Each structure stands twice: as structure tokens, then as C-alpha cells.
Structure 1
Amino acid sequence: MAALPQQPIVPARQAVARLRSLWQRWFLWVLLALLVMVLLGTVVWLAGRHEADQVQAALDRDTSDAVAELRGGLQRNAQSLNALMTDTRGRVRWPEDEATALLRAHREWVRLEWRDPQLQLRAAADSPYRVRLFDEATREASRSDIALACAAASKLGGAAYSPSHYVPVGSGTGVEVMEICLPSEAGDYLIASYAMRETLIELVGPSLRRGQEVAFAEPDGTRLATVGAPRRGGNRIFTSQQLIDLPGVTLMLRVDGWRAEPDLFPNLLTGLVTGVSIALISVLILLARDTRRRLRAERELADTLAFRKAMEDSVITGLRARDLQGRITYANPAFCAMVGFSLDELIGRPDAPYWPTELVHEYQQRQTLRLAGGMPPREGFESVYMRKNGTRFPVLIFEAPLLNAQRVQTGWMSAFIDVSEQRRVEELSRASQERLQASARLATVGEMASLLSHELTQPLAAIASYATGSLNLLDGEPDGAPAELAMALRRIGEQAERAGQVIRSVHDFVRRRDRTREAVSPRALIDAVLPLVQLQARKLGVRIDIVLERDLPQVLCDRTLVEQVLLNLARNAMQAMDVAGIDERVLLIRAARGGGSNSSSVDSAGEARRWLEFSVADIGSGISDEVAKRLFTPFFTTRSDGMGLGLSLCRTVVEQHGGALLFEPNRPRGTIFRFTLLAAVPTAPLPLVTESTSP
């Protein structure tokens, strides 16, 4: 039976452990947040309860004061009625004026009546502040209530009140009314009708009605009359009720107070505690967020470090860091593999075991310069290092200051490139260029073949003519004119030597040989190409001027290659003047001290060597800006029969010799090409020597 594949237990355990760690980490934060929320809610609830109790107590006090005030008002009204009843004693007629004045003083009364012992109406007076409320029908409907009040008054021997009753006034409205009855000694009764709502308005202070609702109610809770502010939506109700025991009837005074909800911060202390609690919760939230950000930043930093480590381990460029004391603090695997030493063998060492012993002094000077604050060149510099097995190899070094997060330099960071393979490729490229230059020289010889065939006919024809004349002189005059014969023979020798020199120059130019550098005088270089230059100069009508300083030192160069540079520049200059509109065509070849190089040619001691400058100037049409941008580009040419390799090969030859090939406009017209070569023996400058060769 085949065994079942085992499940990946380790990742599952890791996930469980990660969840447990996450739960333990966040459990305390959640518990603390819940405790703070419970504390905040409890404080706010207790504060709200305390304020509600305070509001209720204040409302109860106000209600008690209002009841006392209402009792006092009713007693004063009873005394006023008693005084009116005393004034009517012994009178046959009703004191209408005193009753009207009393109604004007008491707005809560709507009617005063004088009735006999059988409760028959003798006289009545209505309040001037409202329309007449009672008529005969409505008044007879309330006779039972009046009888109850008067019976209680007779029994008590003083004022008594009737239960309240509703008196309609039309249009669906009405007034809640209560009567007070006072008996007299003669058996008559004085009855006053109270409007319940106006009683609350007149006998209860206005401060109680401000923002609250005040009402008369029966003991069972039925509302009889209400004054004050109506209830608003969303408000909380605070209610206070107190009984009013009156002779003959019992009433209840009810006060309802409104307060807006919710009242989250009832007082300053609660607000302060709430603010502190909210601040604490905010701090907890910010702290949790900061913790989460810090954990995320730590993970990102770990990922970044892992990525940088993987990147540094994968690059083939060597990296090395040193502190301000020159000790190695870091090296990547590529650098360790480059020099053959392990990281433990390099870290913390003040010296460099990969320095060759013969170059230790030079490296010490360079390191001293770096530690002193000297800035290295941005384009880098070349040096030679030694592997652990003793082999030397060239390196290209780039250095930059090592700055920390506060932009303070803590050392130097260096990048190393092993250029051994690059040097090998350059050697192969040089060999290929030499073969290409040989091919270019052969092509040049092909172009000059027609010129040579034309120019060589003249000296050869002259040789033949002088030879024929010499034979004629010898045959016709055997004893005559030995001087002429000698002159003719010398002419024959000169022309033959000239023809041989031209042929040898062409042969030496195209002959391929090994590259060797030798000390050659500038004059010899110019004389070697002059016969070939003169061939084209005669055809184009160009005058050749040669300017040389006296006692110029020799130059260290590959003679054949430099001659090719001079020849190509001279031919290009003459072709530039092969245009219409130039009356006098002059080619200036000059050699003098001075100039420089675009590449570093300074030895370890820093001693600069002297340079010789060769220049070829024409007075042609010049070089435009568009052509100047691509002038040295391979296979770029402005001639229909050109290959576009001449100037590119010339610059390569000059740069291989450590010099530079440049060009600039000639004044007033034309172009000057300059290149520099290293002088073998520098000497002091001397006056110029000028030669001129006509076409």
C-alpha cells in the first residue's frame, strides 16, 4: 500500500505561532481600550444622573414654592370676597361698583354672584376682561356644584370650593371653572367663579412658567388647565407634583420641565474627564498606529536589506568601504573574489594585502590624500592590484565620500572593475584597427596610382632626354664640352633619385610590419610624406608652407602610423580647397612645442612631460556645425568617393600615442587640425623656421 504524502507541518506551525504572537500583542491593547471606554461611559452616566437629580430637586423646590404662593393668593382672594360681603350686609341692592372694581383687580375671576339662602340669584357681575361666560342655561347646569360648595361653606363656617367643571364657550372651546362660596350671617352666599387657567397665570410666578409647563390636575392625573412652554421634540421630561388641599376640594399642581437630550457633558469636571479620556484613547490609537507603522517599517527595512544584500552579492563590480582611519569596514563577495582574500581577512585591517609591494609607497600617498579630504576624480583612475596568489591585474577605481543619514562623512566607498578582459579586448581591437589601417593605406595607394603614373612620366622622360643628349654629344664631339656632359649626367642622377624616392615612399607606406615606437624628428616625419603630398598639390595648384621651430626634440611614435595621419590631414585640407572662388591655395604644415593631451599622462611622481604639436591648416570653405558633430564618426564622409574612415583612424592613432586630435576654424577662413605627440627629449623653445614649396 502506497504511503500517503506527508503534509507540510512546519509552515502550519509557523502560521499558528504567528497568529498567537499577534493575538498576545494586540490583546492588551484591546483590553486597555475597552477599560477606558467603560470608564468614560460610567463617568458620563454618573454625571448625567447627578445632574438629573439636581434638576429634579430644583423642580421640586420650585413646585413647593409655587403651591405656597398659590395658597397665599387664594387666601388673599377669600379675604377680599369677605370684605365685599361685609360691605353688602344690611343693603338691599348689590354694590355693583365695588364688585366691578374687585373683578378688575382680579383677572382670575370671571363672575361674582349674590345668592339668597335658597341659592336663588339676586345680583351678578361679570369680568370686564372677557365676554360673558354664563347664561341662564349654563349657570343652571352648574347649580349642583354651587350647592355643594355652599353646603360645605355653611358647614365649615367659612369659604369652601366646588369641584371644577367645564363651561363651553362655543366653536368647540371652553373654560375650566371652579367656584368659591362664602356664607353670611344672614344666610346669603357670595360666590366667585375662578377660571383655572387665569388662576395659574395670576397666582403663580412667571419664572416657574419659563421653559416649563404648569398645570392644575385632579388627584387621578386628569389635567384641568395648563400654562407655560409646550414640550419640544427630543427633550427629556422632569415632573414634580404636589397636592393642594382646599376646603371642599383637592387639586394637584403639576410642573413639567423640559431639558434637551442628550446632555453629554453636564458640567466642567465631566467634560474635563471626558476630554482626558478621549485624549488617552487618541494616544492609544496613535500608539497602536505607530506600532503598526514601526513593524511595517521594520519589515520593509528587512526586505530592503535582504534585497540590497542579494544585489551586492550578484554584481560583478567590487565594492569596498573604509572609515576615516583607513580601516576596511565592508567588502562585497565580488571584491573578495577579485583579490582572493576572505571578508574576515580584510575587515578591520589598516593596510591592504592586495597592494603590490613595488607600488606600496604610491598607494600610501594616495590613501593619505584621501584621508586628508582630497576628492578623487569623478571619471575614476586606473591602478594595479595583486591577488592572494601574487598575480597582478589592472583595476578601474571609482571613489566617493561615504555619508551617513545626517550627511556627515564617515569614510570612503570605492567601486572596483577588473579591466583585464577589457585590456585584452582593446589589444584585439588595436590589432583589428591596424589591419583596417593597412587596408586604408592600400586604398590610398590605389587612389594615388594614377597620380604616380602621371608624375613619374615627367622625370623618366627627362632622364631619357638627358641620356639621348649625352649620347649625341659623345658621338658628335668626342673631345668637346666635358662640363655639359657632367651637368647632364648629374641631372640624370637627380631625376632618377627623385623617381626612386617616390616609389620607396609608396612602398614603405603600404608595407605592413610590426608596430614599433621609435624616436623620430618632426622634420623626418614631414619629409617622408612630402613627396606624396606634392603629387596632389601640383594637380590642384596648392602651395605648401612648412613651419618648424628650430631644434625641435624628437617624438616617440610609430613612424608609419603618424606619417599616415599627416598624409590624411594634408590630403583632406587640399581637397577642402578644391572649390571655385579661391585664388591662392595655401597648405600650412606646422610643428612646434606646446599643446597637451586629453588623457592623463602623469607618472606616479606627478611630473608632467612636454608635448609637440603638429597642425595642418587650409583656407577652404570650413566645417559646418552639423558636419562638426559627426566629423570623427566612422563611415561618415562628405565626399561621394570617400570611405569615411580617414579622420576616425587618425584620431585612434593619435589617442593610442597618448595625444589628442582637435580642430578649430582658421581665420579668416578654412580649418586647422591639430594633434599632439609626446616629445622624447624636452628642450627650450627656439625661433620658427619657415619653408615654402610652390606647386
Structure 2
Amino acid sequence: MKKIVFAISQLKTVKWARRIRGFKLVYTPLLAIVLFTVVMGVIMGTLQLQEKSQQEAALFRELSFAKQRIQLRFANNTEVLQSIGRDYVSTGESSKSKDNIVIEAENLLQSNHEIVQFIWINTEGQRQWKVPPNNLKTDWFYKKENAGAMSQALSKTIELSAATNRPAFSQFVSLEVPSEELVSKEIRNVFWQVVPQLYGSEVKGMVAILYTTQGLLEMIPGELKGQYRFTLMTDGEKLLAISSDKNTPRRAFSNQTSLDIGVLSPNLILRIDTYPPATNLTFRMLIGVVLGLSAFVIWSLWSVLKQMQVRQEAEANLRAETNFRSAMENSTPVGIRAHDMKKAITYVNPAFCEMTGWSAEELIGLKPPFAFWPEGQKGELTEKMDKALTLELNQDGKVGIEGAIIHRNGQVIQTRTFIAPLINEKGFQTGWVTSLIDISEPKKIREELAASQERFVTVLEGLDAAVSVVSDQTGELLFTNRFYRERFGNTAKGHFELAGGDIHQHQIDAANQESESEEIQLLDEATGTLKWYEVRRRFVPWVDGHLAQLLIATDITIRIEADDLARQQEERMQFTSRLTTMGEMASSLAHELNQPLAAISNYCMGVVKRLQGQLDPVLQKDILPALQKASDQAHRAGTIIQRIKGFVKRSEPQRKSCDISEIIHDAVGLVEIEAHRHRLSISTELAQNLPQVDLDPVLILQVLVNLLKNSLDSLREVYPLSSRWTAPPVQISADLDTSTFPAMLRIQVTDNGGGIPESVIERIFEPFFSTKNDGMGMGLNICRSVIESHQGRLMAKNRMDAEHTKISGCTFTILLPLESPGSLG
């Protein structure tokens, strides 16, 4: 019994031993791994704390160094400014000394990038000169939106420096500079320093320099800025400048200090932040050792070393292939995304994320219409995608879709998308894969070429010259502009007319030489008038490689007409010279003829007095009236000569109260002899009780005689001598025109001749214009001048026949005031 109990106890002991051994085999490595991990964690934590302490110490040391660097630079700049000011004050404001000072100032600006402006201010506070005078940065200081703040800050700084006789600084000025400008970041925040120049105890001027806060960071060595990010802020934590836009990690170390750059300076804080540290190989090696030992113990524990090796090899191959594919997808500029059968996005590569500005987490799961499609094109792009996917199901091929995506910042990118089915390892389609190519630049180039072509065509269309191109082989019209089409239509006929015929082979020898201009006259079919063109032509290679004739025709009709008008003016000037000579001769003749005419009149009157009472009454009745008329006509001739002389001298009409009926009868009597000689007649129609009018009877008589003669000449041209007995008489009438206020005396001379052509009726009163071959062109002009000297008007109007189809004569109308201007006051 004891043996059995002992055996059972031994069995239990063995079982417990096996259990303990199994526990040791299983859990001892696990406990060792846990203990090893805890120890390594404590060691790494200690190292981490020690490294953090060292980084904080190094951070404070580098911050102190940067602060001293900036303070030392400000102190050196102040000394240099005082030295420049002393040199300028001591040498005087001569041009030579100023040039030397300007060179020193330019050297200061070149060696100190934080200074962008150097200004010398005289004792009256006026800015005398500045360096540099003008560049890309300084232009923004004086623009309308910045000039006020800059001037106000400088004025306050000058007042503070003048009051304390010490260098002073202004507050920070934030400039309005568009972010797209190259210098936007450099000159965004600036401030002034004014250094007074003391000569004894008297201020002889001031030097003002403009600092940029971004330039202050240039004082810090580049190796420090590569390791740390430096930031300049005001005491209100307003950001003034930053050395890098790269973000720092959340657990980055930072420190800050106040910059005392001068006694009268604004509060300026310099902050330093650490960048992510370089990879800690020791730390990673320790982790690798821990993980390796743990894996080895676990693999040893479960006796799967061989299987794990096979698995590792398979994983390595898979990882290599995956890394290769990832590298290919990540390095390609083509955006790739995958869709499931419901068109939801299941994968995107970094290039696609960069195109859209969306992260992979935000994109995965989206369905069309996508948020990265332009708002106005979502419907169109959805339809294109549905159509492309349908084609992919029906046809095993790739379909390219041209469209656009919009970046998160608003930039539109033109793309071409290719779609292919996504097949799994079992041969079943699980979705689609799409690749996007950015075609913005090629499309932009095509659009620019199209815009350039459009601008070129617009220029040609806007030319006031006909431009045409004709093929030398077929004679086909290849190009025309608007001017050509308006003048010659859409055929090559106008081109050949301007070119003087067809294109001949011998003309192509001068293909690269422009021909001399030729003046060609053609009939404008649209207006029915002749046009003059200055034509230039040459042969040019066309887009298909063949030669074509380019022709440019400029309408020079106006120039030709101007040349003709100039020649006419020259002829008129010569005629005017002759007319002036004629006026001088008329004045001389008037002087010479006055005495003979006066003698004739006196002799006639003397004969009349002697014959009175001595002749037979019958003879007295015939002779004495004739002598009396001869004397009157001699007197009238003398009066006419005096009027001509007065007209040549441009004297005023000699007005007197006259009966217009008598003047009209006298004019008819003078012209009636010539009318009878040509078998024509004159009829008179005078209104009753016409009032007396103040006018010059001789000048008015001359006008009426001239108008009557013109009417008779018009009838002579229409009616030949054999049929003039049927010609209606020339009518002269006088009445009152009550359609005007006040009423005026109206005299009308009407004929039934050929009238005046409409093309010249507006010019008949111009000097030297005449429709007669032997006319001087002065008669009607003198008549209008005489009537206008009486404050009246002379007009001409054609008369139409009963059917109003053709001209049947002309009416000249004279309107004279009933009262002279002197009697109207």
C-alpha cells in the first residue's frame, strides 16, 4: 500500500516536474523577453531624457549665439552709419564727396542684405538722396497703398531721434505686396532706423535706413538655419519673419529671447524651433535586437524555424515585388486610382493625391461625381465615365477620356484618363484601374498657338488694306482678309486684276524679293466708282510647301484725290494772282475812264441846253430824249466804274432808299437787247405796293443782270436757234416773303433750262468754280458776296417737271431785309 502511494506520489511529481519544465520551456523565454524589454526601455528612456537635456542646452546656446550675432550686426551698422554721416558732414555737400558717400552706402547695402534703403535727411527733415534710387524692392515702398504708412513711420522716427539725439527705431510696417511677387516674402515687414549726425552738440543731418525683418534672419549662419527654424515676432506674438516654411513636429523643442537692438527700439522676440532629428541608428538597432531576439525565442519555442525561414523568404520576395510596384507607382507622374464594381475609389497613388490636393484617406470610398471634378463639368464627366466603363465591359480595350480635375487650391488641371479592367488572380474582374496624365502644358501650348493665330488673323482682318494669297500652281485663293472680301468678294478675280493678270513662271524667279509698289486703278463694283490702289506683291512658301503669291493692296484714292485737289488749288492760286492783277487794272481803268465819261455826259447836257428852243418840236421829241439818255448812261457807266473800284477796295455798299421795281425794270432793259438777239424773252411779275428798300442800286442791278444772263444762257443750251420761239420766257418776280420774321423782300429769277446738276449745285457759289468752258467762276460768288453785304441771302434750287422725274429749270432766290441794319437799333 505504501509502495502504491509512493508510486502515485512519484507520478504526480513527474507530472508536476513535466509541467514545470514545460512552463520553463514556454514562459521562461517570454519572461526573459519581457525583462529584456523593460530594461531596454529604461535604458532608452534614460538616453532619451539625456538627449533631450542636451538638445535643450544646445538650443539655448545656439539661440544666444544668434542673438549676439544680430545685436553685433546692429551695433556695427550703427557705427558705419555714424561714420558715413560724419564723412558727409565734414566734407560738405559737394558732388565729389556725395559720390564717395553714395559708394559707401551702396557697399553697405551690398554687404548687409537686411538693409534695403539708405536715405540722407538734411537738417530741415527733407530727404535729399537715397540709395538705391529704384529697384524691384524699393518700388513697393512708394506705391499708393504703402507710401502713407512708410512716410508716417519715418517721420515719427525722425522726431524721436531728433528729440533724444540718439539712434531710434520705428514700429514695424506691414506692406501690401501681392503674394505672387518675387519679393513678397522679403519686404513683407520693414522698420526704419534713424541715426542723427551730431557735429558738436548740433544735429547736421540724419541717416535713415530701412530694415526688412526677413533680412534680419540672414544674419544667422546658414548651418544654424539648416538645423533650426528661427522666427521673429513682436511682443504681441505677431509673426514678422520666418527662416523656413517647413513645419516642426509637435514634440519639437523651442526657446525664445528678446532682442535688444538699441535703446529706442521696438520689442522684438527671436524664437528657435528644432526640426525632426536625424534617424537614430543606435535606437533603431536596439529595437531591432529586441525584436530579433524575441522572434528567435518564439520561433525556437514553437519549433517552426524552418517554416519561418521559408515564410521569410516568401515575404521578402513579396515585399521586394511590392516595394518595386510601390516605387513604380510613387515615382510615376501619372495619377493612378482603382475602382470597385460600384465605381467607388479603392486605391490612389501619391501622384494622384498631389494632383488633387486630397489625401488618400479622403479619396478612398468616393463615388462619381467626385469632389475633385470642376463644378460645371461634373455631369459631363460622369456621363463620359459611365460610357467608358460600358465600353470596357463590352469591348476589351482602353478608352481615353479628356477632362479636367480641380486642385484643392482652385487650380484646374487638364487631364486625359485611360481606363482598364482590374482582373484578380482567378481571372474575374473586380473593378477598374484608371490612369490620369496631366495635359495642361500641351493644351496650354495649343491654346497659345491658337490664340497667336487668332491675334495674327485679327491684325490682318483689321488692316485697311486688301491682303490675299493665291496658289502659284492652281490659282486657288488661299487666304483673304476682311478688306479684300468687302472690295472683291471671295474669288481670286480681284487678286488677278490687282496683280495685272495670271501668275507666270518667270515671276517666281523673284520669290524672295518684294516687288516695287504699283498704282492701279480699278472699278469698285459696289459703289460704281474708280478706285486707286498701291499694290505690292511677292512670292512666299505656303504651309503645304508650294509657292504662293502674296498681294497687299492699299486704297490710295484719297491720296490721289488730294494730289488732284492740290493741283487745282495751285491753279486757283495762279488764277487768283491774275484776278488780283485784273482788280488792279480795273482800279486803273476806273480812274482813267471817269474823266472821259464825265466829259461825254457834260457834252450831251450842253448840246441839250443849246438845242432847247431852237429845233423843230418834232426833232426835239426824237433828239433831246436820246441825248438825255446818252448822258444818263454815261453817268451810269461812271457810277458802275466807281462801284467796281469800291468793290475792288472792299468798301461797304452805298445804300439809299430805292424802288426795287425800277431796278428790276432797268436790269430787264439792259438784258432784253441780248435776249432779243438770241430770240428769247423776259417776263416780269411784280407785287403791288412794294415798300422802299435801303440798298445800293448799282450793285443790286449788277446781280440781277448777272442772274438774268445766266438764265438766258441756260435756255440757249436747251433750245436750239430754230425752236426758240417755243421757249418759255425767263421770269423775274418780286414780292414779300412773310414766312420769315421779320418779313423780307424776295426776288426770284426762274428759267426752264437744263438746271444745275445735283453733283455741283452745292459748289456753284464757290470762287473759281464754273460749269462754262470760258467762265471765270467769279460771277455767282460776287453776286452772293454783294447780297450778303446787304445782310441778305442768295439761293439756287432746281425745278422738277410735273412727274418729278427730271429737272426742268432752275430758280435763283434773293432775300433782302426791308430795313438796313443801322435802322434796327
TM-score between both structures, scaled by the size of structure 2: 0.30
Kindly indicate whether structure 1 or structure 2 has the higher relative contact order, using CA contacts under 8 Å at least 6 residues apart. Answer: 1
